[in-house]
Amino acid sequence: MKKTIYLAWPIIMLLFILSCQKTDNTEPSDENQGVSFALNTGTSFKTSDCFNKQADYAKIVISSTEYKVDVFYIDNKPYTNTIKLDEGGHTLTEFMLMDDNNTPDNTDDDVLIAATPHEGSEFASYIEQPLDISFTVEAFIKTELGITVLCYQESEYASFGFTYFGIGLAVVREQFFFGDFCVCRLDDYEGSPYANQSNGLQLDMPAIAKIEVWNNGVKTDEFSNEEWFGEGQVLRVRYLDVMNYADNYEFKLFILVRQGTEFNYVHFHSWTFSDDETIENGGDGLVDFVLGNCMPNADLVLAPWMNIPPTATYTITD
């Protein structure tokens, strides 16, 4: 009898162990599977008309589905909550930061603060990656994507657009310029673009000019009024001011003048400023300049241009 009990004991223990082993059919949780946006910045935002108040939520369209995602701030930097998405490829087609105007239950009075422009739109060139943006969500992995939104006070945001993403804030700024060119010898400019101005060649003509935009030592853009021969409208210069970044600008002014026997753009002046600063304009919003002495009250007065040949041959006779 005792022998029978000894033999049965290992069998009982084996059955007990097997009864405690269950097949685990539990799937891994996909609670954290999705995408979000976060701001990549090392410094605080600069003050601007666009970002002087915090966004309440982001309006996002991904693969034809619209999402309203809360925005939260850490050290004044915006982040979106995670959007839960299926595994696989997705396309981001709209991304907009919104202010709920203190009426979270009523979207009729919500205000668009900033958004990401679409490829081919007027402001697409100001950011590295305009919409649409394709991305992939992997199973059980939270994806964090970087994205830049632009603020431009006068635009209608017709082509702007946004998962947990990095949101880089930027403002498209602009300044306006108009110049005069005082000429001593009209015949020096026959055959030049100045001769195409509506009043022809004059002693005091609108200056045909171009402005190069340099940011932190790198040329980023160039604007010219030669298309309309310098008259009838101002020269508008647009440039990007990134909110979390120190932008040091140099605007290089070139004016079309006669140089030897050719008509060339010559560099006459550079303005330097930083971030949201503006060039001194006398309070009227227009930086006016003059090459010569015919408009002494301009914001910038440049010495008269003298067409001196780079080389000359002299003959000395007795």
> Tokens 């030669």 — which residue?
226
| pLDDT reported for residue 194 | 97
pLDDT in tens, 170-182: 788 899 999 999 9
| pLDDT reported for residue 227 | 96
Instruction: For residue 101, give the DSSP letter.
Output: T
CA torsion sign for 277, 283, 287, 290 is negative
Return the closest-CA partner of residue 254 out of 286, 294, 214, 216: 214
138 — pLDDT class (breaks 50, 70, 90): confident
| pLDDT reported for residue 83 | 86
Tell me the three state secondary structure of residue 186.
helix
Q: Is residue 52 classed exposed, middle or buried when 0-12, 13-18 and 19+ CB atoms within 10 A define those classes?
A: exposed
| pLDDT reported for residue 129 | 83
| pLDDT reported for residue 79 | 80
b vs e for 219-236, b when ≥16 Cβ sit within 10 Å of the residue's Cβ?
eeeebbbeeebbbeebbe
Return the closest-CA partner of residue 115 out of 131, 128, 97, 127: 97
Q: How far apart are the first and last CA of the chain?
A: 149
The tokens describing 119, both together, are 């490829």
| pLDDT reported for residue 216 | 94
Whether residue 120 is predicted with pLDDT greater than 60 in this model: the reply is yes
- Per-residue pLDDT averaged across 107-127, rounded? 83
Ordered structural domains, the chain, with CATH: 34-171 (2.60.40), 175-302 (2.60.40)
**Which of 31-45, 139-153, 155-169 shows the lowest mean pLDDT across its residues?**
155-169
Which has more pLDDT, 32 or 120?
A: 120
| % of the chain exceeding 70 in pLDDT | 74
Whether residue 23 is predicted with pLDDT greater than 50 in this model: the reply is no
Contact 249, 281 (CB under 8 A): no
Q: How many CB atoms lie within 10 A of CB 75?
A: 9
- Per-residue pLDDT averaged across 282-300, rounded? 92
Who's near 295: CB < 8 A, 6+ residues apart? 180, 182, 204, 288, 301
Whether residue 43 is predicted with pLDDT greater than 90 in this model: the reply is no
230 — pLDDT class (breaks 50, 70, 90): very high
| pLDDT reported for residue 146 | 80
Whether residue 198 is predicted with pLDDT greater than 90 in this model: the reply is yes
Return the closest-CA partner of residue 114 out of 73, 153, 71, 164: 153
Q: Which of 7-16, 32-41, 43-52, 304-313 has the highest mean pLDDT?
A: 304-313
Strand 142-151 vs strand 248-259: parallel, antiparallel, or unpaired? unpaired
- Per-residue pLDDT averaged across 280-287, rounded? 91
Instruction: For residue 117, give the DSSP letter.
Output: B
Q: Is residue 275 classed exposed, middle or buried when 0-12, 13-18 and 19+ CB atoms within 10 A define those classes?
A: middle
> Tokens 């299926």 — which residue?
86
| pLDDT reported for residue 41 | 29
The Cα 231–Cα 256 span in angstroms is 14
- The amino acid occupying position 280 is E
